[in-house]
Chain A
Amino acid sequence: MASSQGSYLARPQPSGLAEVIDIILDKGLVIDAYVRVSLIGIEILTIDARIVIASVDTYLRFAEAVNRLDLEAKSDSKGLPELMEDVTSGGSKSKTQGAIEGVKEKVQEATGSGDDDDDDGKQKTRSRSRSSSRSGSRSGSRSRTKDDE
């Protein structure tokens, strides 16, 4: 993702499904009398969309993260490319993130917003979805990993 230049944001990005999936799952008119049908593969996504920020898991993760900080270094020493590397390198990923990405990619393929039908999502996941899965995984995966096994 190009860092946000004014020109880059002169227009909103068209709302691809991957961009609005949290909105679709969480918003819209609710009518009490209605049945919400269950959905295969949705549990992960809904939890991803509703990460509990005030949780012990989150606190421990923050504690770990501030402990790792190298305060001698400049605050902006770690740029976006490195962060992305963190995300894409398999080692730092949890199973859950894989699952989330799996669904997102499937959705992306299904919407035709993906580049082709190639299964190998890691390579082609464009920056915008990568950034969204980054944010998703950072929190989502943490809180999931344990009860997921």
Chain B
Amino acid sequence: MSGDEHSLYVYGAVRASELPDLDVTGVGGESAALKTIARAEVAAVVSEVEDGPLSAARDLRAHWRVLEEVASRTTVVPVRFGTVVAGEEALIRDFLDPEGERLAALLAELRGKVQLNVKCFYDEERLLTEVVSGSPGVARLRERVQGLPEAAGYYDRIRLGELVSAEIEQRRERDGALVLDRLAPLAVAAKNDAPGTTDMAVNAAFLVESARVDEFSSQVAKLTDELGSRMRVRYVGPMPAYSFADAEVAAGSPAWA
């Protein structure tokens, strides 16, 4: 890394013809002024950053705020948190030049759309009760394990947990399909990611046209009623298209179909 050139923290890519005017603090603290570096159709939103670790509390927030701000003004392809490049030259050589066309296509794809996330959570006690009463195998093994001292039942307990886990996985697949089935038709793209926690049933992201957000929201409300007390729903957004900032979208391949 050359001594006189600062490393650049990269937030995202925007259309060069729509450079946003930004007045937020970037990653790394007060001195981190945001700037854009354009090349042909696409520009990167960056700020200079000192080498060394970032701070979770301060810099996660800065990254998020910058992208919220940019997204409120123009379409942005968010870059993964913590991405730093050696300097302007490297940014152009390794990012804007080789990725420019792909980014331009992706920006066109994302234009006028927002990401909305729907997470559903099981009430674990209720879920487990259903699992035990719905699966004779689980119920049997449970009774057996309950009769054993802890050390003796170690492997049986693992087996029991594994069975329970498999049952939950089945329900998760079913419920994920249900949620996608209800909501995906109103979205341009949809993804159901792996659950982040064991009680998470659905972890879905939707790319929705801004004009259809209200329609989407009322569908979420209907779905929530349908799920009733079986699952708790958290509906968050709109946010920049973090979950759709990837190659498949740019290539126009229907990964979500």
Query: Interface of A with B (CB < 8 Å)?
Result: 1, 3-15, 17, 19-25, 27-31, 33-42, 45, 48-51, 53-54, 56, 58-67, 69, 71, 75-78, 80, 83, 103, 106-107, 109-111, 128, 131-132, 135-136, 138-140
Given A6-B225, A22-B196, A28-B242, are A12 and B237 neighbors across the interface (CB < 8 Å)? yes
Stretch at the interface among B14-22, B31-39, B154-162, B180-188: B154-162
For residue A38, which residues in chain B have a CB less than 8 angstroms away from its CB? 53-54, 82
| A17: nearest chain-B partner, CB-CB | B64
Asked whether, in the complex, the Cβ of A31 is within 8 Å of the Cβ of B160, the reply is: no
Q: Is B109 part of the contact surface with A, judged by Cβ < 8 Å?
A: no
Asked whether, in the complex, the Cβ of B64 is within 8 Å of the Cβ of A24, the reply is: yes
For residue A9, which residues in chain B have a CB less than 8 angstroms away from its CB? 217, 220-221, 224, 233, 235
Asked whether, in the complex, the Cβ of A12 is within 8 Å of the Cβ of B79, the reply is: no
What are 30 A-B pairs with beta-carbon distances under 8 A?
A4-B233, A9-B217, A10-B217, A11-B217, A12-B235, A12-B236, A15-B68, A23-B117, A23-B242, A27-B242, A28-B242, A33-B85, A36-B82, A41-B57, A50-B196, A51-B196, A53-B194, A56-B158, A59-B158, A59-B161, A60-B158, A62-B128, A62-B198, A63-B158, A63-B160, A69-B132, A80-B123, A107-B56, A111-B64, A131-B234
Q: Is B229 part of the contact surface with A, judged by Cβ < 8 Å?
A: yes
Given A3-B229, A12-B235, A17-B61, are A24 and B128 neighbors across the interface (CB < 8 Å)? no
CA distance A37 to B229 in the complex (A): 42
Q: Is B138 part of the contact surface with A, judged by Cβ < 8 Å?
A: yes
Asked whether, in the complex, the Cβ of B60 is within 8 Å of the Cβ of A21, the reply is: yes
Asked whether, in the complex, the Cβ of A66 is within 8 Å of the Cβ of B132, the reply is: yes
Given A27-B243, A66-B132, A110-B58, are A58 and B165 neighbors across the interface (CB < 8 Å)? yes
Q: Is the interface of A mostly helix, strand, loop or mixed?
A: helix
Question: A59 touches which one: B125, B162, B199 (CB < 8 A)?
Answer: B162
For residue B210, which residues in chain A have a CB less than 8 angstroms away from its CB? none
In order of increasing CB-CB distance, the 8 nearest A-B pairs are A59-B161, A41-B56, A28-B80, A27-B242, A106-B57, A62-B161, A63-B161, A33-B94
State the Cβ distance, B210 to closest chain A Cβ, in Å.
12
CA distance A130 to B58 in the complex (A): 21
CA distance A35 to B238 in the complex (A): 29
For residue B243, which residues in chain A have a CB less than 8 angstroms away from its CB? 23, 27
Query: Interface of B with A (CB < 8 Å)?
Result: 10, 12-13, 49, 51-61, 63-65, 68, 77-86, 90, 94-95, 99, 116-117, 121, 123-126, 128-133, 138, 142, 145-146, 157-162, 164-165, 168-169, 194-200, 205, 213, 217-218, 220-222, 224-225, 227, 229, 232-239, 242-243, 245-246
Q: Is the interface of B mostly helix, strand, loop or mixed?
A: helix
Question: B125 touches which one: A40, A78, A135 (CB < 8 A)?
Answer: A78
Asked whether, in the complex, the Cβ of B217 is within 8 Å of the Cβ of A12, the reply is: yes
State the Cβ distance, A143 to closest chain B Cβ, in Å.
9
Asked whether, in the complex, the Cβ of B53 is within 8 Å of the Cβ of A40, the reply is: yes
Given A4-B224, A6-B224, A12-B116, are A53 and B233 neighbors across the interface (CB < 8 Å)? no
State the Cβ distance, A132 to closest chain B Cβ, in Å.
8
State the Cβ distance, A119 to closest chain B Cβ, in Å.
13
For residue A11, which residues in chain B have a CB less than 8 angstroms away from its CB? 217
Question: A39 touches which one: B54, B64, B195 (CB < 8 A)?
Answer: B54
Given A4-B224, A9-B220, A51-B197, are A20 and B117 neighbors across the interface (CB < 8 Å)? yes
State the Cβ distance, B44 to closest chain A Cβ, in Å.
10
Asked whether, in the complex, the Cβ of B60 is within 8 Å of the Cβ of A136, the reply is: no
Asked whether, in the complex, the Cβ of A75 is within 8 Å of the Cβ of B165, the reply is: no
